[in-house]
Amino acid sequence: MNLPFKRDKKIAILGATGLVGLQLIKVLERRNFPVSELRLFASQDSIGKPLLFHKRLMNIQPVDFSNIDIAFFATDGTSSKKYYPAAKEAGCVVIDKSSAFRMDPLVPLVIPEINGHEIAKHRGIIASPNCTTSLLALPLFPLHTAFQIKRIVVATYQAASGGGKKQLQKLLQDAKESTLDLFPHDSALTPNGYVEEEVKMKEEAQKIMRATFALSATCVRVPVIRAHSLAINVEFHLPFTLDKVYEILHQSPGITVYEDRVNNRFATPLFASEKEEVFCGRLRCDASHANTLEMWVVGDQLLKGAALNAVQIAEYL
Amino acid sequence: MNLPFKRDKKIAILGATGLVGLQLIKVLERRNFPVSELRLFASQDSIGKPLLFHKRLMNIQPVDFSNIDIAFFATDGTSSKKYYPAAKEAGCVVIDKSSAFRMDPLVPLVIPEINGHEIAKHRGIIASPNCTTSLLALPLFPLHTAFQIKRIVVATYQAASGGGKKQLQKLLQDAKESTLDLFPHDSALTPNGYVEEEVKMKEEAQKIMRATFALSATCVRVPVIRAHSLAINVEFHLPFTLDKVYEILHQSPGITVYEDRVNNRFATPLFASEKEEVFCGRLRCDASHANTLEMWVVGDQLLKGAALNAVQIAEYL
The model's pLDDT over A238-279, given as tens digits with 9 standing for 90+, comes to: 999 999 999 999 999 999 999 888 787 889 999 999 999 999
Residues of B in contact with A261 (CB under 8 A): 189, 193
User: Is A250 marked active-site?
Assistant: no
Average pLDDT over residues B129-149: 97
- Confidence tier at B231 by pLDDT (50, 70, 90): very high
The answer to whether the CB atoms of B296 and A266 lie below 8 A apart is no
pLDDT value, residue A71: 98
Q: Which helix (H) or strand (E) holds A173?
A: helix A164-177
pLDDT of B205 strictly over 50: yes
Average pLDDT over residues A118-129: 96
The answer to whether the CB atoms of B268 and A182 lie below 8 A apart is yes
pLDDT value, residue B6: 54
Q: Are B220 and B194 in contact (CB under 8 A)?
A: no
pLDDT of B84 strictly over 60: yes
pLDDT value, residue A305: 87
pLDDT of B164 strictly over 90: no
CA A31-A37-A38 angle, to 5 degrees, is: 70
**Per-residue DSSP letters for B11-49?**
EEEETTTSHHHHHHHHHHHHTT--EEEEEEE--GGGTT-
Q: What is the CA radius of gyration of chain B?
A: 20
Average pLDDT over residues B191-209: 95
A19/chain B closest Cα distance in angstroms: 17
Residues of A in contact with B151 (CB under 8 A): 288-289
Q: Domains (ranges, CATH) in chain A?
A: 9-128+306-316 (3.40.50.720), 132-301 (3.30.360.10)
**Which of A206, A220, A228, A246 to mutate to probe the B interface, most B CBs <10 Å?**
A220
Average pLDDT over residues B128-143: 97
Task: Tell whether B225 is within 8 A of chain A (Cβ).
Answer: yes
Q: What is the DSSP letter of A7?
A: S
Task: Tell whether B223 is within 8 A of chain A (Cβ).
Answer: yes
Orientation angle between helical segments A164-177 and A19-30, nearest 10 degrees: 100
What are the backbone dihedrals phi and psi of residue A128, each rounded to the nearest 5 degrees, phi first?
A: -105, 135
List CB contacts of B276: < 8 A, sequence separation 6 or more: B254, B300, B303, B304, B308
Q: Are B60 and B39 in contact (CB under 8 A)?
A: no
Which one is catalytic: A122, A144, A185, A228?
Answer: A228
Which one is catalytic: A131, A144, A219, A280?
Answer: A131
Query: Residue B74 to residues B38, B95, B162: CA-CA distances in angstroms?
Result: 14, 9, 13
The answer to whether the CB atoms of B180 and A202 lie below 8 A apart is no
- Please give the Cα distance from A143 to A240 (Å, whole number): 9
Average pLDDT over residues B103-114: 97
What are the backbone dihedrals phi and psi of residue A265, each rounded to the nearest 5 degrees, phi first?
A: -115, 130
The answer to whether the CB atoms of A182 and B224 lie below 8 A apart is yes
Task: Tell whether B192 is within 8 A of chain A (Cβ).
Answer: yes
pLDDT value, residue A178: 85
pTM of the model: 0.94
First to last CA, chain B: 13
- Please give the Cα distance from A196 to A52 (Å, whole number): 35
pLDDT of B174 strictly over 80: yes
- Confidence tier at A1 by pLDDT (50, 70, 90): very low
pLDDT value, residue A52: 94
What residues of B are annotated to the active site? 131, 228
Residues of A in contact with B282 (CB under 8 A): 184, 193, 218
The model's pLDDT over B253-297, given as tens digits with 9 standing for 90+, comes to: 999 999 888 787 889 999 999 999 999 999 999 989 999 999 999
In terms of C-beta distances under 8 Å and separation of at least 24 residues, what long-range contacts does B114-119 make, across chains too?
B114/B138, B114/B141, B114/B208, B114/B209, B115/B208, B115/B209, B115/B210, B116/B313, B116/B316, B119/B313, B119/B316, B119/B317
| B 157-186 → A contacts, CB under 8 A | 157, 171-172, 175-176, 178-184, 186
Which region, left, alpha or beta, applies to residue B287 given φ > 0 means left and ψ of -120 to 50 means alpha?
Answer: alpha
pLDDT value, residue A6: 53
- Please give the Cα distance from B160 to B224 (Å, whole number): 6
The answer to whether the CB atoms of A179 and B270 lie below 8 A apart is yes
Report the mean per-residue pLDDT for chain B.
Answer: 94
Per the DSSP assignment, residues forming a β-bridge with A234 are A152, A293
pLDDT value, residue B4: 44
Residues of B in contact with A282 (CB under 8 A): 184, 193, 218
pLDDT of B1 strictly over 80: no
CB burial of A143-179 (b: ≥16 within 10 Å; e: otherwise) equals: bbeebebbbbbbbbbbbbbbbeeebbeebeebbeeee
pLDDT value, residue A183: 80
Is residue A134 classed as helix, strand or coil in its secondary structure? helix
Over pLDDT 70: what percentage of chain A?
98
Instruction: Report CA B78 to chain centroid distance, whole Å.
Output: 19
**Per-residue DSSP letters for B78-100?**
HHHHHHHHHHHHHTPEEEE-SSS
**Which of B216, B245, B261, B285 to mutate to probe the A interface, most A CBs <10 Å?**
B216
- Which of these, A236, A202, A241, lies nearest to A219 by C-alpha position? A202
ipTM of the complex, rounded to two decimals: 0.93
Candidate from A42-51, A110-119, A162-171, B55-64 with smallest mean pLDDT: A162-171
Give the amino acid at A275.
Answer: K
pLDDT of A194 strictly over 90: yes
The model's pLDDT over B113-132, given as tens digits with 9 standing for 90+, comes to: 999 999 999 999 999 999 99
Burial of B264 (0-12, 13-18, 19+ CB in 10 A): middle
- Which of these, B240, B272, B268, lies nearest to B142 by C-alpha position? B240
